[in-house]
Amino acid sequence: MIDPRVVTEFLSHRHLAVIGASGDRRNFGNTIYRELASRGYNVVAVNPNAATVEGDPCYPDMASVPGELDGAIVMVARDKAADVVRACTARGVPRVWLFKGVGGTGSMSDEAVEVCQKAGVEFVAGACPLMFLEPVGWYHKAHRALRHLNGSLAKGP
- Write the DSSP assignment of 33-95 as a string of letters: HHHHHHTT-EEEEE-TT-SEETTEEEESSGGG--S--SEEEE-S-HHHHHHHHHHHHHTT--E
Q: What is the pTM of this model?
A: 0.90
Mean pLDDT of the chain: 90
Cα Dmax for the chain: 41
pLDDT bin (cut points 50, 70, 90) of residue 52 is very high
Instruction: Judge whether residue 157 has pLDDT over 60.
Output: no
What does the pLDDT look like over 12-27, one tens digit per residue?
999 999 999 999 999 9
| pLDDT at residue 118, as a whole number | 97
| pLDDT at residue 147, as a whole number | 66
Provide the residue ranges of all domains of the chain, joining segments of one domain with +.
4-150
Strand partners, 16: 43, 71
Instruction: Judge whether residue 140 has pLDDT over 80.
Output: no
- The fold for domain 4-150 equals Rossmann fold (3.40.50)
pLDDT bin (cut points 50, 70, 90) of residue 144 is low
Instruction: Judge whether residue 146 has pLDDT over 70.
Output: no
Q: How many CA atoms lie within 13 A of 74 on its CB side?
A: 32
Q: Are 17 and 62 in contact (CB under 8 A)?
A: yes
Residues 148 and 155: their CA atoms lie apart, in Å, by 7
Pairing of strands 56-59, 52-53: antiparallel
